[in-house]
Amino acid sequence: MNKFERVIGQMTYDMGRKRQVSKNRRERSYGTPVRSATKVNRPSMMRSASKSTTNTRQSRTQFAVIEGTESLKKFIGILLIAVGILLILTKCAGSFGGGSKKAEVDSKTPATIQVTSAYTEHIQDFEIGGDTLKRLMELSIQYKKDYAHTLAVWAVESYKETPLAEIEQSIKEKDTTNFLDEFGMYDNATDVYKQFIYDIKSFPIREKNVYTYENGWKDSRTYNGNRLHYGIDIMSKANESGQIKIRSMTDGTVENIGWNQTGGYRVGIRSESGAYFYYAHLHSYAKDLKQGDRVQAGEVIGLMGDSGYGEEGTTGQFPVHLHIGIAVKTPDNVEFWINPYSILQYLEQKS
Where in the chain are the domains? 3-26+44-95, 118-193, 211-350
Element (H, E) at 191: helix 185-193
Q: Which CATH architecture has domain 211-350?
A: Distorted Sandwich (2.70)
Percentage of residues in the chain having pLDDT higher than 90:
46
Report the pLDDT value the prediction gives residue 117, as an integer from 0 to 100: 74
171/37 Cα distance (integer angstroms): 69
- Give residues with Cβ within 8 angstroms of 346, minimum separation 6: 130, 133, 134, 200
209 burial via Cβ count (<10 Å: 0-12, 13-18, 19+) = exposed
Element (H, E) at 301: strand 300-304
The 3-state DSSP class for residue 154 equals: helix
Torsions phi, psi for 3 (to 5 deg):
-60, -40
Report the pLDDT value the prediction gives residue 244, as an integer from 0 to 100: 98
CA triple 306-312-314, angle to 5 deg: 40
Task: Answer for the pair 114, 95: CB distance below 8 angstroms, yes or no.
Answer: yes
Report the pLDDT value the prediction gives residue 120, as an integer from 0 to 100: 84
- Weakest-pLDDT range from 93-102, 226-235, 240-249: 93-102
Is pLDDT above 90 for 157? no
pLDDT digits (tens, 9 = 90+) for 27-48: 555 444 444 344 444 444 444 4
Task: Answer for the pair 132, 164: CB distance below 8 angstroms, yes or no.
Answer: yes
Mean pLDDT (whole number) for 53-70: 51
CA distances from 259 to 85, 212, 266 (A): 44, 25, 6
- Give residues with Cβ within 8 angstroms of 132, minimum separation 6: 154, 164, 342
Evaluate the CA torsion angle 346, 113, 220, 185 in order and state its sign.
Answer: negative
Torsions phi, psi for 307 (to 5 deg):
-85, 150
pTM of the complete model beyond 0.75 = no
